[in-house]
Amino acid sequence: MTRRWPSSKRPEPPTRSPTSEASYATRLSAGAGRVTFVFTKPAALGHNFAVRCGKRRLGITPTISRGATRRLTLRLTAARYTFYCVVPGHEASGMKGMLVIAR
Ligand SMILES: [Cu+2]
């Protein structure tokens, strides 16, 4: 089955470890410090997972497709960030969300 973005079914979720999961939907949250995102099982179409603060990109996974998993660990201070897919057109299609880091 080929799943294309955008579609009613969003790509599989990035999650923050160790215990929480959230979809590549609209919002993720975590406490300040080291945060590891586990980006796994995207659709057949390649996607990646990046985090930025304002216009500054803080980190990005490689672009992966179905079945793969990549981790991204960042040290984040309390603020609001944006997570998104850097593949051209994907963020504009809505493949992004807010990341809230609390103290
Ligand atoms: Cu994408």
Q: Where are the domains of the chain?
A: 14-102
* C-alpha 25 – ligand 1 centre gap (Å): 12
CATH topology of domain 14-102: Immunoglobulin-like (2.60.40)
Q: Is the Cβ–Cβ distance between 80 and 99 less than 8 Å?
A: yes
The model's confidence at residue 40, banded by pLDDT at 50, 70 and 90, is: confident
* C-alpha 32 – ligand 1 centre gap (Å): 26
Say what the pLDDT of residue 45 is. Answer: 85
Helix (H) or strand (E) holding 50: strand 50-53
pLDDT tens-digit readout, 45-101: 889 999 999 999 999 999 998 888 999 999 999 999 999 999 999 898 888 999 999
Q: Is the Cβ–Cβ distance between 69 and 40 less than 8 Å?
A: yes
* C-alpha 76 – ligand 1 centre gap (Å): 23
Higher pLDDT, 83 or 15: 83
Does the pLDDT value for residue 23 go beyond 50? no
* C-alpha 47 – ligand 1 centre gap (Å): 4
